[in-house]
Chain A
């Protein structure tokens, strides 16, 4: 535990974290990039989720849609995660003490597990059903779960802003 605390202290005391804390425009600028990236992550993954649930893009085979959309999602996720990391280190201790921040991280991990489980297990027989307008129940559940998890991630993100102690 103390190793993790040291690591967090190392980032929080770094000169980058200090600039983000002290500079008036740096934090909002990184935050804006974070919002743009998150919007693209959530919006693009929703395209896939709605296909899995059977609501949209029904004429597109699931495999093809996945290959088209995931590079966009991952690219945006890389930007969202790195900008999020910069925002986090600017006040790491206070963010960690915020329940909504912790919940947001856990929810993102849960969304990741949901995706891995779907690709590794539920989508093993993908070629057999990927052209069906309404995929099998396990795929619809994975899609619905993903929608709910990402809505919760965005909600937690917004709630962090209202529950952080004054900086």
Chain B
């Protein structure tokens, strides 16, 4: 924790951090881009999960729905990485010495693994989750996916309320 505090102090003293801190429109703009990208990633994942539950685009094979919605997640995650990193550089203490931030990152790791697994399974073996025996497995996966993504969004909002004074 002490090392992180020291690193945060060093980061906050860099000229890039200084610019982000002092130009007032930069942080809200970065946060707006960040949330819009979260909206894209979250909705894409949830729509595929809803398709697994057969409540969205039932007339379209799961494979086609997955092909439309899951691959675009990855480039958008890159934008999230960039905007998220810039937000950390601007206010290092807000996240780097904040447990909620690490919870968000841990959940994100789980979400990435889940989504990548789902995408690979559905695209390489079409019809997976369609037969009755695998249906439950698919629904369990979809439920966990929705919960984990919601957890990421909740944690993201709570970072603002749990930062060290």
Given known pairs A47-B43, A68-B57, the reply for A39 and B38 (CB within 8 Å) is yes
CB distance from A154 to the nearest CB of B (A): 6
Per the bound structure, the CA–CA distance linking A60 and B38 in Å amounts to 24
- Report whether A39 and B43 are in contact in the complex, using a CB–CB cutoff of 8 Å: yes
B42 interface residue, CB < 8 Å from A? yes
- State which residues 52-109 of B face A: CB under 8 Å: 56-57, 59-60, 68
Given known pairs A43-B42, A43-B44, A154-B35, the reply for A35 and B153 (CB within 8 Å) is yes
- State which residues 54-98 of A face B: CB under 8 Å: 56-57, 60, 64-65, 68-69, 72
- Report whether B43 and A46 are in contact in the complex, using a CB–CB cutoff of 8 Å: yes
In this complex, how many residues of chain A approach chain B with their Cβ under 8 Å: the count is: 28
B157 interface residue, CB < 8 Å from A? yes
Per the bound structure, the CA–CA distance linking A72 and B55 in Å amounts to 10
- Report whether B43 and A154 are in contact in the complex, using a CB–CB cutoff of 8 Å: no
CB distance from A49 to the nearest CB of B (A): 12
- Report whether B42 and A72 are in contact in the complex, using a CB–CB cutoff of 8 Å: no
Per the bound structure, the CA–CA distance linking A122 and B28 in Å amounts to 35
Per the bound structure, the CA–CA distance linking A53 and B24 in Å amounts to 34
- Report whether A151 and B36 are in contact in the complex, using a CB–CB cutoff of 8 Å: yes
B142 interface residue, CB < 8 Å from A? no
B154 interface residue, CB < 8 Å from A? yes
Contacts of B10 in A (CB 8 A): none
Q: How large is the interface on B (under 10, 10 to 19, 20 to 34, 35 or more residues)?
A: 20 to 34
B143 interface residue, CB < 8 Å from A? no
B141 interface residue, CB < 8 Å from A? no
- Report whether B56 and A36 are in contact in the complex, using a CB–CB cutoff of 8 Å: no
- Report whether A40 and B28 are in contact in the complex, using a CB–CB cutoff of 8 Å: no
Residues of A within 8 A of B (CB): 28, 31-32, 35-36, 38-40, 42-44, 46-47, 56-57, 60, 64-65, 68-69, 72, 151, 154-155, 158-159, 161-162
A-B contact pairs, 21 of them (CB 8 A): A28-B157, A28-B158, A28-B161, A32-B153, A35-B35, A36-B153, A40-B39, A40-B43, A43-B39, A43-B40, A46-B39, A47-B47, A64-B59, A72-B50, A72-B56, A151-B32, A151-B36, A155-B28, A158-B31, A161-B28, A162-B27
